[in-house]
């Protein structure tokens, strides 16, 4: 059933410099727009004072550390 579906909504040029530069520019513009939107909605966040090499950035900033207790603090 899926082999009968045809999509004609866009065209991607693979193997040309023009197509590659367009995709890179679109990616850069998306990153800049997301950065600006994030800065506009949350302009001031204090950096976390946690030093770890185990967690990636997403996991580190998704932690809710306010409820944690360490050695009966």
pLDDT digits (tens, 9 = 90+) for 12-70: 656 778 878 888 999 999 999 999 998 888 877 776 677 777 777 777 767 766 666 66
pLDDT digits (tens, 9 = 90+) for 57-73: 777 767 766 666 666 65
Residue 27 has what pLDDT? 95
Q: Is the pTM of this model over 0.75?
A: no
Structure tokens at 39: 């800065």
Structure tokens at 28: 């850069």
Structure tokens at 9: 């909504």
Helices (H), the chain: 17-41, 57-62
Q: What are phi and psi of 62, to 5 degrees?
A: -85, -10
């Amino acid at each position: 059933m899926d082999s009968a579906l045809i999509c004609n909504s866009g065209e991607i040029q693979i193997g040309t410099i023009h197509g590659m530069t367009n995709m890179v520019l679109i990616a850069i513009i998306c990153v800049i727009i997301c950065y600006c939107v994030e800065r506009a909605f949350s302009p001031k966040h204090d950096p976390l004072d946690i030093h770890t090499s185990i967690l990636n950035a997403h996991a580190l900033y998704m932690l809710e550390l306010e409820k944690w207790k360490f050695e009966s603090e």
